[in-house]
Amino acid sequence: MIIDDKTLLRFMNKVKFFEPGKCWEWTGYIRKDGYANFWVKNKVFLAHRFSYLIAKGDIPRDMSVCHSCDNPKCINPDHLWLGTHAENMKDCAKKGRIVNPELNKKHCKRNHPLFGDNLRLYKDKSKGLIFRKCRACDRIRARKYREHRSEV
């Protein structure tokens, strides 16, 4: 991709520079997930990916641009590295950044309590994850299944 001077100047005007080695924070639009967007010729880019593209060149289709600084607003090319999605997730886990909102839920989607005797835990050995299920919802699903089977 060829980047003209006007686009480059517009991009760099949205960056707050700090000391050398520190994060360069994006001052333009920030999405709800904390990452920055930048529009170029009717196409939206994640600002950190655009920064990598400018400084280091093309990004292979199957690669992610990852932050070593763990700051999604940072576009400092020295803080960015290429990795697969799996490598990025391993880096997140190693640094303790993976937050699973499911583990914080107190009730299921039908508002049954997700604790005590109503809680059932499942472990997915292939992914190494633990899932929580509501026993009351399991009973409702089983009853509906039995009713459906008896009608057939």
Give the chain's domain count.
2
For residues 78 and 16, state if they share a domain: yes
> Which token pair is 15?
């960056």
On the question of pLDDT at 127 being above 80, the answer is no
Residue 47 · residue 28 · CB < 8 Å: yes
From 63, 78, 94, give the residue that closes a domain: 94
Confidence of residue 125 (pLDDT cuts 50, 70, 90): low
What percentage of residues in the chain have a pLDDT greater than 70?
Answer: 90
On the question of pLDDT at 104 being above 90, the answer is no
For residues 108 and 88, state if they share a domain: no
Which of 30-34, 61-65, 101-105, 121-125 has the least mean pLDDT? 101-105
pTM of the complete model: 0.64
For residues 38 and 23, state if they share a domain: yes
| Three-class secondary structure of residue 133 per DSSP | strand
For residues 74 and 36, state if they share a domain: yes
**Helices 5-12 and 47-56, interaxial angle, to 10°?**
130
On the question of pLDDT at 86 being above 80, the answer is yes
Residue 22 · residue 78 · CB < 8 Å: no
On the question of pLDDT at 123 being above 80, the answer is no
For residues 118 and 147, state if they share a domain: yes
For residues 20 and 66, state if they share a domain: yes
For residues 88 and 115, state if they share a domain: no
Span 123-142, mean pLDDT? 81
CB-facing half-sphere around the CA of 31: CA atoms within 13 A: 11
Confidence of residue 13 (pLDDT cuts 50, 70, 90): very high
Per DSSP (E only), the strands in the chain are 15-16, 25-26, 37-40, 43-46, 64-67, 80-83, 119-124, 129-134
What pLDDT shows up at residue 131?
74
On the question of pLDDT at 67 being above 70, the answer is yes
Give the H or E element holding residue 94: helix 85-94
